[in-house]
Amino acid sequence: MTPLSNLSARHETRGDSLAYHFIFAVCFVTFLCVALVASVLLLPWRSWLPGAEGSETLVGGVRGAVYTLMSHLI
């Protein structure tokens, strides 16, 4: 029989994972909108987002910026 403490730890881990993915998705959509608008206006958006400086694609730059932000949050 599994101890009760192990069950609660698994439940918190699943909730933490869901919260992480939710925050990631919200940040990704926000940064993607900023990058898309800046690209349409021909502005240098890669210098605005930390972690996106060396990327070659829009989605790769946004993903790098979100991962950089998430590392500072956690």
Tell me how far the alpha carbon of residue 29 is from its chain's centroid: 9
Q: What is the pLDDT of residues 47-64, one digit of tens each?
A: 988 888 888 899 999 999
- pTM for the whole thing? 0.75
- Give the CA distances from residue 33 to residues 6, 42, 44, 70, in Å, rounded to whole numbers and listed in that order: 41, 14, 14, 18
What is the rounded average pLDDT of the residues 4-31? 77
Domain coverage including residue 52: 4-73
- Give the CA distances from residue 60 to residues 6, 9, 27, 46, 65, in Å, rounded to whole numbers and listed in that order: 38, 34, 14, 11, 9
When divided into structural domains, the chain yields a total of 1
| Residue 12: both structure tokens together | 């918190």
Could you tell me if 19 and 35 are in contact, meaning their C-beta atoms sit under 8 angstroms apart? no
What is the rounded average pLDDT of the residues 59-71? 93
